[in-house]
Amino acid sequence: MAVASFGPSENLKPVRLTVPEPGPDEVVVKVDAVAVNPADLGMREGRYPWADEPRLPLVPGYDLAGTVEVGNADWPSGTKVIAITEHKNTQIGAYAEFVTLPTRLLALAPEGMDVAQAAALPLAGLTAIEALSALDLAPGATLLVNGPRGAVGSLTVQIAKHRGITVVANGEGPVDAALDTVGGERAQAAFDSVRDNGRYVTVVPEFWVPGGPFTEARGIKPQVVAAQFETDRLRELARLASEGVLTTTVGEEFPLTEAAAAHARLEAGGVRGKLVLIP
């Protein structure tokens, strides 16, 4: 599913594209489920900071669960995996039946999770880990998560608790630190809950949802973070999910060919859980 021209959800249409031959340290993965992330909407609309000039038709999609189709010695065909596409740089997304990926973007699929739940893990999980890394909290510290039921928010809550951090809800404070996953003016209350000289991180940049607190005040320096696609972190997420420490919530599944309907659904708002496309 790709956009030949940027625009509304109906611009997302089926296309027939050649799957790139895997190079050294690459495999072809058959996609079993692919998550719809908020950034995919911006990609489709043409308001996304691509590393290079976008090449159309463009296939969105960060997150997938799949099965290695053309493998190598370390990742033989048939291996169940989760993966992230890094398509901000490559422009090779996962709204597809097959995707060619470097093996550093793969982890073994978590045991006990279905493919839709597993596909909801990589981007949100890597973002949560990066946010917690930037906050650098010791066990026992207090953390407020703005948007705790969202994908990034809920995984941050789960990982933080696993690390012994005390997670509190909006309205409680003062706290040592806050993580915002909502952005805009709705992030101000989270910032205001942080104690003087505490820490505040948001995963929602100004260009994406304007109006958030980005000015230093009371010794708190707002920091914007983005997911880092580190192999060790992806595999750690998969391991924690296998151990039952992490779960994800799937809102609704759509056939891949109905990606446009999934985008319209996400845009309409009020979705609980990740929307997932099934090829």
Binding site for ligand NAP (CB under 6 A): 37-39, 123-124, 127, 147, 149-153, 181-183, 186, 203-204, 208, 226-227
Do residues 183 and 202 lie in contact, with contact meaning Cβ atoms separated by under 8 Å? yes
Q: How far is the CB of 184 from ligand NAP (least distance, A)?
A: 8
Q: How far is the CB of 127 from ligand NAP (least distance, A)?
A: 4
Nearer to ligand NAP, 119 or 152 (CB): 152
Q: For the chain, what is the radius of gyration of the CA atoms?
A: 19
Nearer to ligand NAP, 147 or 213 (CB): 147
Residue matched to tokens 């951090």: 165
Q: How far is the CB of 19 from ligand NAP (least distance, A)?
A: 26
Do residues 259 and 36 lie in contact, with contact meaning Cβ atoms separated by under 8 Å? yes
- Which residue of the chain is nearest ligand NAP when measured via CB? 150
Q: How far is the CB of 220 from ligand NAP (least distance, A)?
A: 19
The vertex-160 CA angle with 82 and 142, nearest 5°, equals: 160
Q: How far is the CB of 23 from ligand NAP (least distance, A)?
A: 26
Separation CA 191–CA 174 (nearest Å): 10
Do residues 260 and 245 lie in contact, with contact meaning Cβ atoms separated by under 8 Å? no
Nearer to ligand NAP, 27 or 246 (CB): 246
Q: Name the pairing type of β-strands 106-108 and 250-255.
A: unpaired
Nearer to ligand NAP, 81 or 151 (CB): 151
Nearer to ligand NAP, 80 or 186 (CB): 186
Do residues 171 and 145 lie in contact, with contact meaning Cβ atoms separated by under 8 Å? no
